Structure 1
Amino acid sequence: MNDETASDKPTPVPLSRDARRVLGVLVEKAKTTPDNYPLSVSGIISGSNQKSNRSPQMQLDEDDVLTALDELKKVGAAREIQGSGRVTKYRHAAYEWLDVDSPGAAVMTELLLRGPQTLGEIRTRASRMYALDDLKVTQEVVDLLIEKDLVEPLSPPGRGQTFAHKLYTPEERMYLEAKLEKQAAAQPQAPTSTRASKSSDSAVDALIARLDTVSERIDALEERIKELESSR
C-alpha cells in the first residue's frame, strides 16, 4: 500500500466540507476515469458540482477548490503535480493518509461524497469503484474502517443502521446526531419478517443502482453539451 513507516504517516484530521468533497472527487475519478486523472482545477470543479453521486449538491468555484486543495496539501491528503502542457494538476494521497486499501478507499469515498449511509447503500454505491460481493464483505470492510477510527455507526445495530466517516468537524458531527435522532423518532419501523426484510433491501439496492446509472448518463450528456457549445 505504501512504504512509509507508521510514524511517518500523516494522521487523518477533520476536514472542511469543501475539502472532503474535493478529496472524494480525486479518489473517485482516479478509480472511475483513470484516463482523465490527475485532475486540473477545472476537472475538480466539475466533479465537485456534478448532480450524480453527490449529497448535498454543491456549487464550488475556483477559489473554493483552491482553498480546499491547500487544506488537503497541508495535511498530506493531496499533492500538486505538473501536468502536460504546463497545466497544474492534482492527485490524492488518500491511501497513505487514511492508511486504507482499495475496498476501504472505495467505502470512504462514498461516505465523503454522499454522507451517512446504510450498509446496503454503501455496498451498492462503492461497488462502482471496487466490487463488494455481498453485505458480509461490506460489513467486514466497514468494521476494519471502524477499527482504524475512520468510520462510526450513527444508529443502533440492525436493519437500516447508518454509518458515517469521522472526518466531519465537531459542529457538523453534532448536527448529524441531532438530525438522525429526529428522523428515528419520526419514523418508527414496523416489524417485518427476515425474508421480507431481505427482499425489501434487495429491491432498494437495485433501485439505487438504476437511479445512479441514469444520473451518471445525464451528467455525461450535460458535459458533452457544454463541450459542444464551447467549441462553437
Structure 2
Amino acid sequence: MSDPSGEDKQQPQPISANARRVLGVLVEKAKTTPDNYPMTASALISGCNQKSNRAPQMKLDETDVLNALDELRGVGAAREIQGNGRVTKFRHAAYDWLELDNPQAAIITELLLRGPQTLGELRTRASRMHSIDDLDATKQVIDSLIAKGLVEALSPPGRGQTFAHTLYPPEERQHLQARVEKQAAQAPQENRNAVDALIARLDAVTDRIDDLEARLKRLES
C-alpha cells in the first residue's frame, strides 16, 4: 500500500480465525446496537457464538475471546477501556487499522463474519450496517478494497464471482482457494445435471400434450 507522500504503508498482517470473529463482532455491534457498545468479554462471547449472521458457527469461551482481544490489541485493531462500574470493555480500531470508510467497513465486516461471498450477498448483508444503493455501488466499494489490498476475488469475473478479505493466514488462504476451485470444478457437472433434468421434464410434458391431442382427434372424429 502507498500513500500520497510516497511512503509505502505496511499491509495489515493476517490474524487468527478467533481474532477475525471478535473484530467482526465489535464492528457489527458498534453499527447495529450502539447502545450496547463498547462490549464486555461476556457480550463478545455471545456475539461470536450467535447462530445468525455467522459462518462457520463457533463456540468460543472466555479464554478464546480474551486471547483474540490480546491479538487484536497487538496489531492495533482493538482497544481496552474502562466502562461504568469499573467493568472492562472493548472497542474496535478497524477504521484506523485498515483505513476504512463506512461502506468499506460494512463489507469487510460481513467477510469477517461469514467468509467469502458474492457481490449480491455482500450488498444485501452489508446494508444492515450501511445502506448500499445497488450492485454497481457495491462493486465500487469492493474495487476500492481490492485497491487497498484488503479484498481479493477468489473466482473469475461473472455471475457468482466470490470475494474474500486478505486477513487469512497463508495456510487458511490455501485451503480456502482449494475449496473454491473444487466447487468451481463441480459446478459444470451440476449444471449439466440440472439441464438434463429440465429436458426430461420438458420431454414428459411434450409426450402428454401429444397424447392429449391424439385423444381429442379421436373424440372429434
Partner of 1:139: 139
Rounded to whole Å, the distance in 2 between the matches of 1:52 and 1:72 is 23
- TM-score for both structures, normalised by structure 2: 0.81
Indicate the RMSD between aligned Cα atoms, in angstroms.
1.8
Q: Distance in 2 between matches of 1:148 and 1:125?
A: 22
- Aligned pairs (5 A) from 1:66-145: 66-145=66-145
Instruction: Flag the 1:23–1:128 CA change in 2: closer, same or farther, 3 A.
Output: same
The Cα shift of 1:6 comes to 9.7
Report the Cα offset of residue 37 of structure 1.
0.1
- How far apart, in 1, do the equivalents of 2:32 and 2:98 lie? 20
2:196 maps to what in 1? none
1:46/1:6 CA distance change after superposition, 3 Å: farther
1:21-100 matches, within 5 Å, as 21-100=21-100
User: What's the counterpart of residue 155 of structure 2?
Assistant: 155
What residue is the counterpart of 1:174 in the other structure? 174
Question: Which amino acid in 2 is paired with 1:60?
Answer: L
Letter in structure 2 aligned against 1:173 = R
* Unaligned ranges ≥5, structure 2: 193-221
Mark the structure with the bigger radius of gyration.
2
Query: C-alpha separation between the residues in 2 aligned to 1:127 and 1:171?
Result: 31
2-structure distance, mates of 1:48, 1:171: 23
Secondary structure of 1:187 counterpart = helix
Count of matched residue pairs: 187
Spell out, residue by residue over 1:26-55, the C-alpha distance to the aligned partner (whole angstroms, 9 max, x if none): 000000000000000000000000000000
Distance 1:66-1:135 versus aligned 2 partners, 3 A rule: same
Distance 1:89 1:148, change over 3 A: same
Change (3 A) 1:74 1:6: farther
Instruction: Please give the alpha-carbon distance, in whole angstroms, between the structure 2 residues aligned to 1:57 and 1:10.
Output: 31
Question: CA contact under 8 A between 1:153 and 1:161: conserved in structure 2?
Answer: yes
Is the 1:10–1:97 Cα contact (8 Å) retained in structure 2? no
Structure 1 CA distance, aligned partners of 2:180 and 2:77? 29
**Alpha-carbon distance in 1 for matches of 2:10, 2:34:** 25
Residue deviations 1:84-127, cap 9 Å, x none?
01000000000000001000000000000000000000000000
Which residue is 1:16 aligned to? 16
Please say if residues 11 and 149 of structure 2, whose CA atoms lie closer than 8 Å, have aligned partners that are also in contact: no
CA distance in 1, matches of 2:175, 2:48: 22
AA aligned opposite 1:181: E
Higher relative contact order (CA 8 A, sep 6+): 1
What percent identity do the matched residue pairs reach? 70
Could you tell me the TM-score, scaled by structure 1's length? 0.78
Structure 1 gap segments, 5+ residues each: 192-232
Residue 12 of structure 1: how far off its partner (Å)? 1.3
Tell me, yes or no, if the aligned pair for 1:81 and 1:89 is still in contact at 8 Å: yes
Task: Give the secondary structure class of the aligned counterpart of 2:65.
Answer: helix
In 2: Cα distance, 1:13 partner to 1:145 partner: 15
